[in-house]
A and B are shown apart, each in its own frame.
Chain A
Amino acid sequence: MESGILNGDTVVQWIERAAEVIGENEKTLTELDAAIGDSDHGANMARGFSAVRGKLAEHSRDDVGAILKTVGMTLLSTVGGASGPLYGTLFLEAAKVTAGKPEIDRATILQSLAAGLAGIQKRGKAEPLDKTLVDALGPAIRAFEGAEGVSLAEALSQAAEAARQGAEATIPLVARKGRASYLGERSAGHQDPGATSMWLLLQSLAEAAAE
């Protein structure tokens, strides 16, 4: 669906796609987490998104905010690790922006992502370069904002690419938040699993929007 808006169906497709991609990459995410954390990120995210997928199967599609809220609440209660409240907050904040809207345009999408980022930063007290999912989401939002004169799908694709680069850029960083921060200098040299899953989430969004 090549248009300037996302409707409820597309949002559900996005989340379903994200669930698939995260499921496919569960092992990779876990391996990344094993290097610097408690090796549960892949399993946690897969468990959460699989639960979300179940919740959305029969969900009504006429309110994007309601869909995102369901996603957020479900992630809160099923992910388990810090990604639960963080991703949960992302979706809940986005849900506030989109509440009652059957479809959302670029401006609303940007506003949702920004609100989500703000919520995550408030919740996790993370700054850029702390080696967290902020390092993927932040560049993605800036890329999306700056992608003028291109379609929504292209803009989201550029955002996803920025997220990928942001995630890769976490490799040399020393973790300052979360379980990885216990490792101090030893956390350097590994890509942050949270930033990686954030990239996968945004990549899924770009793909859903392109279909």
Chain B
Amino acid sequence: MSQTTVGLVLVSHSRALAEATRALATQMTGDRVVIECAAGVGEAGEALGTDATAILAALERAAGEKGALVLMDLGSALLSAETALDLVDASIAAKTRLSAGPFVEGAVAAAVRAAGGGTLDEVAAEARRGLLAKEEQLGEAPPAPAPASVDESTENVFLEDAVIGDEHGLHARPAARLVSCASQFDAKVAIENRTNGKGPRAADSVVLLAGLQARRGDVLRIAGSGRQAEAAVRAIAALVRTFGTTPDAPPPPAPDKTTNDRGIPIAPGVAVGPCVRLERAEIRFSHPFTKNPPAELDRLTAALDEVEAEIRGAYGRDDMATLHATLLRDPVILQTARERITKQHQNAASAFHEGIERAAMALASADDPYMRARIADLRDVELAVLRALGAAPAAVLPEGPPALLLADELLPSEAARLDPARVLGVVDLRGGPTSHAAILLRGAGIPAVFGAASLLKDLPASPARLGLDGSTGEVWIDPGPERTADLERRRAEERAARLSAAAFHGKITLPSGPTVELWANAASALEARAAKEAGAFGIGLLRTEMFFLDRDDAPGEDEQADLYAEVLAAFPGAPVVIRTLDAGGDKRLPWLHVPPEENPYLGLRGIRLSLDRPDLLETQLRAILRAGRGRDVRIMIPMVSTVTEIEATKAALARAARTLDATGKPYLWPVPLGIMVEVPAAALLADQLAPHVDFFSIGTNDLTQYTLAAERGHPKLAALADAGHPAVLDLVNRVSQAGRAAGRAVSVCGEAAADPKLAATFVGLGITRLSMGPAALARVAAALVAGAEIG
């Protein structure tokens, strides 16, 4: 690159120190300043020491037309630099300065000044002042720099005040722009902070300007004298006002291999080990045409059947499986695909691909971010079908020892196939907390961090080692021996805790005293059986809507009763909480024919919908009552916000019972009725609702999204999908207290109950009934028994 700025040479005994200092400086200046390191000795600079010949070479690279400044650490750095100056070409030596400035602070200050177009003298002066800000901050200031002032004896003095808008105040980058702006005028400019009384300081030094300690909102008085005073002052005032409002062209952040910034914590647990990338072979349609369209149609049908079976087998009957199965049969996709086969004689793979493309385009143009997020699911379905057609190879995990998987948006079908014995953890560059892959990883107990793109952009191309903490979102690239040992120790502890919890049967007694019941959430008889095997105390939440997602007509009473009975059979004698249909929001049941809503989460959903369709509600209630005969069944209604809704449900329940009486069918009576607390109103009025219900169950997912006004599937609001937010915990606490005061059981049945830390928090708030996905039971039990988080 052509060097229009003063270059820097960093001479240090330590290659690492010089590189890190360069990174700090580059963070401020991007690549506008050439910064060369001459540090370390030995072939790769691995030994501590300095090398005069390396400094000489660095000088030749760094010294452009404006020369170079050399910053040195200690001892031989100075001797070697001086030796290099003796040896280097005289024309370069003449424009090289060795700086007595502090190595790190001096380098950063010098780089900023150089980037602002400073001369060698100015850059050298800035480096010498490198400690000034620190000295002032610590009260160790040498005699304060002579106050800058404008030359008031001349007639041409100009003043203007400007308020600084940048949230970080007058930090180094804007200060450098300010200095650079001032240097373009034939004027002497000084700046004073009118808010805190600091200054005035000459506007030719970033370090001096730092002494103004200007924060956002401070008023800066810009004073200029000289020929172009007015122009200079106006320009600087205008510039100050733009700080923070115009993008301050952020320079590329410095490479930092050992970053421990955070991604999104997805699945708890720690992991450390070799890193393998999930390799996805590119799909190619090399021979996209067929001579036998009918045969291709058959192949497509067979592939769709195969994939559907695979989806059911791999991830059960949850809403994701249902979504994928629905996408698989989407008429837009299939119609496009069939037309391409029959009319254009494309083969099944390329035809299905085009169908998916068409659907993806439709989704991409949707206003609803939730719908757009489903493109990943479409791609997943596409890959599965293409695999079944032999057109796409399966994503492969390289063979080898157990490792951490590095993926770029892990697909749900891939997540479902991960073997916890081989995959120690997952770091996903994209992905959010509510993606289906995230839910599957939590279920499988594989520690994971998502949204890690910013942490890993400097990841070396060759596979490195990774460490992660799925509870905090921390990721370590090439963790050092100490970090590795620490992570391995914690992983061993987690494993030991899991083993000791293996004998868990529904209840655990905490070291601190209380006994906590762990219940399971389920959406199918299969899951209910898994919950039983995992030792669940009971079913704390049976999501009935999940039974009826992929159908065209309303389920009848008999059909429902049979399905519920199958679930209840898994828990003979144990309590099962059946929730009435919770449709609406992101769970749209086609057969309900609910008109599209602008804000489905704030629309006709949960009990609101059920009360709007009395037949629907009463049919479900009758089915529950019939299936519940002789069982410990409790009914729970979702999305309650008023007493009226509870009373209306009770009336419906009474009507259902009378209808059953009339037909002579045996049924369960009386039946406890409880409510989901997921609307903040219900939490706030829990003490008033308590007399009307038999129990409360807090749905943390919805309670969190309604409390924080942040849709939980929103890709940019992941940080607000936090059930540990103080506002949410405050509501949980209210419900807990109201329940205790009124003698009503309170449970938590949202995703948060599966997070050991949050679970411990809930227990701390007096909640002793937690309901979660079956896969989380053992882990949460172990964490609670370990008691580490309970305080």
Q: Which residues of A contact B (CB under 8 A)?
A: 38, 40, 43-44, 47, 73, 76-86, 88-89, 123-124, 178-179
Q: Is there contact, CB below 8 Å, between B53 and A81?
A: no
Residue in A closest to B57 when the chains form the complex, CB atoms = A77
Task: Give chain A residues whose Cβ lies under 8 Å from the Cβ of B53.
Answer: 73, 76-77
Could you say which of A47, A77, A80 contacts B76, with CB atoms under 8 Å apart? A80
Place the interface of chain B in its size category.
10 to 19
Complex: A198 Cα to B639 Cα, angstroms: 87
Complex: A204 Cα to B40 Cα, angstroms: 29
Complex: A32 Cα to B747 Cα, angstroms: 71
Task: Give chain B residues whose Cβ lies under 8 Å from the Cβ of A47.
Answer: 41-42, 47
- Interface-central residue, A76, A78, A82, A89, by most chain B CB under 10 Å: A76
Complex: A80 Cα to B49 Cα, angstroms: 4
B641 sits at the interface (CB 8 A): no
Complex: A47 Cα to B51 Cα, angstroms: 13
Task: Give chain A residues whose Cβ lies under 8 Å from the Cβ of B47.
Answer: 43, 47, 80
Q: Which of B52-73 contact A (CB under 8 A)?
A: 52-54
Which 7 A-B pairs give the minimum distances between C-beta atoms? A80-B49, A80-B41, A82-B76, A85-B79, A77-B53, A76-B52, A85-B83
B620 sits at the interface (CB 8 A): no
Could you say which of B40, B48, B80 contacts A85, with CB atoms under 8 Å apart? B80
Task: Give chain B residues whose Cβ lies under 8 Å from the Cβ of A88.
Answer: 52, 83
Complex: A197 Cα to B79 Cα, angstroms: 18
Task: Give chain A residues whose Cβ lies under 8 Å from the Cβ of B82.
Answer: 85, 123
B511 sits at the interface (CB 8 A): no
Task: Give chain A residues whose Cβ lies under 8 Å from the Cβ of B294.
Answer: none
Could you say which of A40, A43, A44, A84 contacts B52, with CB atoms under 8 Å apart? A84
Assuming the contacts A78-B41, A178-B75, asked whether A84 and B48 have C-beta atoms less than 8 A apart, the reply is no
Q: Is there contact, CB below 8 Å, between A84 and B75?
A: no
Task: Give chain B residues whose Cβ lies under 8 Å from the Cβ of A179.
Answer: 74-75
Q: Is there contact, CB below 8 Å, between B49 and A44?
A: yes
Task: Give chain B residues whose Cβ lies under 8 Å from the Cβ of A83.
Answer: 76
Least distance between B569 CB and chain A CB atoms (Å): 76
B50 sits at the interface (CB 8 A): yes
Q: Mark B358-394, 1 if CB is under 8 A from A, else 0.
A: 0000000000000000000000000000000000000
Q: Is there contact, CB below 8 Å, between B79 and A123?
A: yes
Residue in A closest to B49 when the chains form the complex, CB atoms = A80
Q: Is there contact, CB below 8 Å, between A81 and B83?
A: no
Q: Is there contact, CB below 8 Å, between B51 and A86?
A: no
Least distance between A65 CB and chain B CB atoms (Å): 16
Complex: A45 Cα to B80 Cα, angstroms: 15
Least distance between A80 CB and chain B CB atoms (Å): 2
Could you say which of A43, A73, A84 contacts B80, with CB atoms under 8 Å apart? A84
Complex: A85 Cα to B48 Cα, angstroms: 15
Q: Is there contact, CB below 8 Å, between B41 and A85?
A: no
Q: Is there contact, CB below 8 Å, between A77 and B79?
A: no
Could you say which of A76, A78, A80, A124 contacts B48, with CB atoms under 8 Å apart? A80
Task: Give chain A residues whose Cβ lies under 8 Å from the Cβ of B79.
Answer: 82, 84-86, 123-124
Could you say which of B13, B40, B49, B74 contacts A79, with CB atoms under 8 Å apart? B49
Least distance between A199 CB and chain B CB atoms (Å): 21
Q: Is there contact, CB below 8 Å, between B52 and A77?
A: yes
Q: Is there contact, CB below 8 Å, between B83 and A40?
A: no
Task: Give chain A residues whose Cβ lies under 8 Å from the Cβ of B51.
Answer: 76-78, 80, 84
Complex: A44 Cα to B41 Cα, angstroms: 9
A-B contact pairs, 13 of them (CB 8 A): A44-B49, A47-B41, A76-B53, A77-B54, A80-B40, A80-B50, A81-B50, A84-B49, A84-B76, A85-B80, A88-B83, A89-B83, A179-B75
Assuming the contacts A76-B80, A89-B83, A178-B75, asked whether A81 and B52 have C-beta atoms less than 8 A apart, the reply is no
Least distance between B310 CB and chain A CB atoms (Å): 62
Residue in A closest to B80 when the chains form the complex, CB atoms = A85
Residue in A closest to B53 when the chains form the complex, CB atoms = A77
Q: Mark B244-268, 1 if CB is under 8 A from A, else 0.
A: 0000000000000000000000000
Least distance between B43 CB and chain A CB atoms (Å): 10
Least distance between A109 CB and chain B CB atoms (Å): 23
Task: Give chain A residues whose Cβ lies under 8 Å from the Cβ of B50.
Answer: 80-81, 84-85
Complex: A78 Cα to B647 Cα, angstroms: 88
Complex: A54 Cα to B48 Cα, angstroms: 22
Task: Give chain B residues whose Cβ lies under 8 Å from the Cβ of A89.
Answer: 83
Assuming the contacts A40-B48, A40-B49, A85-B52, asked whether A79 and B83 have C-beta atoms less than 8 A apart, the reply is no
Task: Give chain A residues whose Cβ lies under 8 Å from the Cβ of B42.
Answer: 47, 80
Complex: A85 Cα to B53 Cα, angstroms: 10
Complex: A89 Cα to B50 Cα, angstroms: 14
Complex: A88 Cα to B50 Cα, angstroms: 12
Residue in A closest to B74 when the chains form the complex, CB atoms = A179
Q: Which of B2-59 contact A (CB under 8 A)?
A: 13, 40-42, 47-54
Least distance between B212 CB and chain A CB atoms (Å): 36
- Interface-central residue, A77, A124, A179, by most chain B CB under 10 Å: A77
Complex: A186 Cα to B120 Cα, angstroms: 41
Task: Give chain A residues whose Cβ lies under 8 Å from the Cβ of B49.
Answer: 40, 44, 79-81, 84
Complex: A124 Cα to B82 Cα, angstroms: 10
Residue in A closest to B83 when the chains form the complex, CB atoms = A85
Task: Give chain B residues whose Cβ lies under 8 Å from the Cβ of A85.
Answer: 50, 52, 76, 79-80, 82-83
Residue in B closest to A181 when the chains form the complex, CB atoms = B75
Residue in B closest to A78 when the chains form the complex, CB atoms = B41
Could you say which of A73, A77, A86, A178 contacts B41, with CB atoms under 8 Å apart? A77
Least distance between A82 CB and chain B CB atoms (Å): 4
- Interface-central residue, B47, B53, B74, B83, by most chain A CB under 10 Å: B83
Task: Give chain A residues whose Cβ lies under 8 Å from the Cβ of B40.
Answer: 80
- Interface-central residue, A43, A47, A73, A84, by most chain B CB under 10 Å: A84
Complex: A84 Cα to B41 Cα, angstroms: 11
Assuming the contacts A40-B49, A82-B76, asked whether A123 and B83 have C-beta atoms less than 8 A apart, the reply is yes
Please name 18 further chain A to chain B contacts, defined as beta carbons within 8 Å, in addition to the given A80-B13, A81-B50, sorted by A numbering: A38-B48, A40-B49, A43-B47, A76-B51, A76-B83, A80-B40, A80-B41, A80-B42, A80-B47, A84-B52, A85-B52, A85-B76, A85-B79, A85-B80, A85-B82, A85-B83, A89-B83, A123-B79
Complex: A140 Cα to B416 Cα, angstroms: 80
Residue in A closest to B52 when the chains form the complex, CB atoms = A76
Least distance between B77 CB and chain A CB atoms (Å): 9
Complex: A80 Cα to B51 Cα, angstroms: 6
Complex: A83 Cα to B51 Cα, angstroms: 11
- Interface-central residue, B50, B53, B74, B80, by most chain A CB under 10 Å: B80
Task: Give chain B residues whose Cβ lies under 8 Å from the Cβ of A124.
Answer: 79
Least distance between A48 CB and chain B CB atoms (Å): 9
Q: Which of B188-246 contact A (CB under 8 A)?
A: none
Complex: A43 Cα to B80 Cα, angstroms: 18
Complex: A112 Cα to B82 Cα, angstroms: 21
Residue in A closest to B82 when the chains form the complex, CB atoms = A123
Least distance between B633 CB and chain A CB atoms (Å): 77
Residue in B closest to A81 when the chains form the complex, CB atoms = B76
Complex: A43 Cα to B47 Cα, angstroms: 10
Task: Give chain B residues whose Cβ lies under 8 Å from the Cβ of A80.
Answer: 13, 40-42, 47-51, 76
Least distance between B87 CB and chain A CB atoms (Å): 8
Task: Give chain A residues whose Cβ lies under 8 Å from the Cβ of B76.
Answer: 80-85
Residue in A closest to B51 when the chains form the complex, CB atoms = A77
Least distance between A119 CB and chain B CB atoms (Å): 9
Q: Is there contact, CB below 8 Å, between B75 and A79?
A: no
Task: Give chain A residues whose Cβ lies under 8 Å from the Cβ of B54.
Answer: 77
Least distance between A124 CB and chain B CB atoms (Å): 6
Least distance between B771 CB and chain A CB atoms (Å): 62
Complex: A115 Cα to B772 Cα, angstroms: 84
Task: Give chain A residues whose Cβ lies under 8 Å from the Cβ of B83.
Answer: 76, 85, 88-89, 123
Task: Give chain A residues whose Cβ lies under 8 Å from the Cβ of B74.
Answer: 179
